[in-house]
Structure 1
């Protein structure tokens, strides 16, 4: 579904990604693991089109999307759940979900009802302002809003950052449900080793803007191996 070939990108004259190459099959969950500052978020933003490519190519569903703007990629079926969630704090939960439905071809009420079956916690919060939710609830809302657009590929950036363990488990369970029921494809950037090992079918290691190797989820569960790969302790 997704092929990234020697992708280079950066900010102004500052290069961040140096020839990143990998592919993701339809229905696959692929994790990306690395220290802060290694290019993980920049990679997702480049895949979404927010950071322009300075070299290489991105192919989605057989079409070259390297030069397409973010809205065109969204229309093709790519969704981004950014680090920091970026919900609309002054809109209610229901209004945030309606914003997510703008790209959906289906009935808005049916779309939201279907998403709420995956995130039932949000149902009792529909009238509450997004900014009044806890960090974990905001993350659930960000995921649900993205799903309302009907993406086939979700780019998920640090979904467990600053979130209590109970909601981390809820996010993991929801994503497993989506894998089974919607055959979603996900590229997951994460530093929580339990989360990335629980969700990913394989894990790519990124160091200094380059994918250096691929490891199994079992390897991610071994703190000694992860320390060897990226210097991260479990």
Structure 2
């Protein structure tokens, strides 16, 4: 599905990603782990085209996306839910969702009914402004907006940050349903290990801009946690 080979990325003179390799299999659900500042969000922004890479190559289902624009990556099947949600607070829920319709390759004009089935609260509040929603509801809106694209790869950056426990549980159930029942490939960054273990089947651990460990989630043992994740 997604293949990344030897990418390097810099902020001014600071070398952030170092010859990074990563591969996601189609239909997988993987969690990207690591301490703060190791380059996780930078990697996600490189995948989505929000940040350029100095060198290396990225491909999605065999198509080279290394120099592709963010908009064309969305059309190619990448949906992104950024850290902090970044919804439009003055637009209604429905208007927030409709913004993504313009990037659908099939030019659909209507919000897919599946979005409201996954997140009934969005249907109930579709005429309310995004800024009036709770943090958990805004997160559901941000995920729904990404799903409007009909993505093949869904990328979520810390989807449980600042969210009340009942909404965290609902989001976890939606991720599992999208992955197991609908075959959507998922990559998420997550700090909460219990959530990561429930949601994902595979893990990648980053340290100093590189992937230093990966495997089945069952192989994420105390030694790896102590070495790379404990603060």
TM-score normalized by structure 2?
Answer: 0.94
Q: Secondary structure at the match of 2:54?
A: strand
The separation in 2 between residues aligned to 1:107 and 1:62, in whole angstroms, is 25
What is the SS of the residue equivalent to 2:112?
helix
Counterparts of 2:69 and 2:217, CA distance in 1: 33
Find the counterpart in structure 1 of residue 226 from structure 2.
228
- Asked if 1:90 is matched to 2:97, the reply is no
1:103-138 superposed Cα distances (whole Å, 9 cap, x missing partner): 2326433x4322111111212111111011111110
Q: CA RMSD in A?
A: 1.5
> Within 5 Å, which residues of 2 pair with 1:35-114?
35-104=35-104, 105=106, 107-109=108-110, 111-114=111-114
CA distance in 1, matches of 2:92, 2:112: 14
Q: Is the 8 A contact 2:71 2:103 kept in 1?
A: no
Aligned position for 2:22: 22
Q: 5 Å matches for 1:1-234?
A: 1-104=1-104, 105=106, 107-109=108-110, 111-220=111-220, 224-232=222-230
| 1:72-110 deviation digits (Å, cap 9, x = unpaired) | 11111111110010001100001111112222326433x
Superposed CA offset, 1:142-184 (max 9, x none)? 0000000111111110101111111110000011111234211
Output the TM-score relative to the length of structure 1: 0.93
Does the 8 Å CA contact 1:8/1:16 hold for their aligned counterparts?
Answer: yes
1:167–1:55 Cα change, 3 Å: same
The answer as to whether partners of 1:40 and 1:189 remain within 8 angstroms in 2 is yes
Q: What is the distance in 1 between the residues matched to 2:200 and 2:184?
A: 13
Task: State whether residues 116 and 123 of structure 1, in contact with CA within 8 Å, keep that contact through their aligned partners in structure 2.
Answer: yes
8 Å CA contact 1:9–1:17 kept in 2: the answer is yes
Quote the Cα distance in structure 2 between the aligned partners of 1:164 and 1:153.
Answer: 26
* Structure 2 residue ranges without an equivalent (≥5): none
Contact 2:33/2:229 (8 A) holds in 1: no
- Uncovered stretches (5+) of structure 1, i.e. residues with no partner: none
Q: Distance in 2 between matches of 1:99 and 1:127?
A: 15
